[in-house]
Chains A and B, each alone.
Chain A
Amino acid sequence: MGTGENLLERVQASLGAQALETGMAHGILVLQITAESLVPVAGRLKQEFGFDLFLDVTATDWPQRRPRFDVVYHFYSARDFVRVRLKTQVEETDPTVDTLVPLYGSARYMERECHEMYGIRFRGNDDLRPLLLYEGFVGHPLRKDYPKQREQPLVPYRDVKP
């Protein structure tokens, strides 16, 4: 376990300057960064510190807050077995971050999902077609202001006589 914690300390020490805020939460190093420094930080995480597995990207919606969205990334080091979480905030009016596809192939699909669910735009990802949803779906269902039961059926319903 020791090497993993050392690694996190080293990451914290050397990337702390680029982050707005750092801290540990339940064994995961959390770095709050600006949208601009996302790609450089992720690149250093991968190249210098060996975080080779890109786990996940998702967003959190805070309708009352400005900026409204958190974009949350998780990385895992398959050598030292520790995780890092990057968080960056984006505005509702311009929910754009840079894509991580050049660094990690797996980002392609996950960014597509995040895009359709929250409407986050990933600059540089050329394939943001709907993935879990379908062509013609209007809105972003995981945003808090999308009503849970608003359906957009593709097939017209049959008129069933009771």
Chain B
Amino acid sequence: MSATTPVPRQQKSAAFEYLTTRKDEFVGWARKFSLFPYPFVTACCAMEFMSVSSTLYDTDRFGAALPRFTPRQSDLLMVVGTVSHKQAPILRKVYEQMCEPKWVIAFGVCATSGGFYQNYAALPGIDKIIPVDLYIPGCPPRPEMVIDGIMKLQDKIAGERHPIINQDF
């Protein structure tokens, strides 16, 4: 780390800008194919989740198959199924335990908005308590829909900025 004050950003050379953009693309490309999902599986949608991760649909093709069963090792939180108010603190805790960068998929309408459970027990959508990157509608969504959702998330990751190094670099 140099002792001089950082150079203001606009004075960076064009070559540096070019490099950071390329770096973002490169990191995005790497990250989008190494998603480690943490399945936060609660309800009926789990049945489809099982199908998606097994032979016929096989999310392995998208680099998103190997579930990590601890939130600390995963970077994709898949909330599969209804989250009730009783479950909400647990979901929140799991989310906090994950390291950055992290993404969240709301799988099924229950996770998206509470679905057709609009009553005292069910949380009306997990985005009430944690930020969500992608919603997959359906009750339960068909496996094709899930695969589509994962691909959309990959596009999103590829297009994101990935600040792993700061501007002093």
Contact = CB atoms under 8 A, between A and B. Distances in A.
A, B bound = yes
Interface of A: 133-134, 141, 146-155, 157-158, 160
Interface of B: 85-86, 88-89, 92, 118-121, 123-124, 127-131
- For chain B, what secondary structure do more than half of its interface residues adopt (helix, strand, loop), or is it mixed? loop
Given A148-B120, A149-B120, A150-B120, A158 B88 contact: no
Contact of B121 (A141, A157, A158): A141
B119 A149 contact: yes
B120 A158 contact: no
Contacts of A157: 128-129
B120 A134 contact: no
Contacts of B123: 153
Contact of B119 (A134, A148, A155): A148
15 contacts: A133-B86, A146-B120, A147-B120, A148-B120, A149-B118, A149-B119, A152-B85, A153-B128, A154-B85, A154-B88, A155-B129, A157-B129, A158-B127, A158-B130, A160-B128
A153 B86 CA distance: 8
B86 A155 contact: no
B130 to A, nearest CB: 7
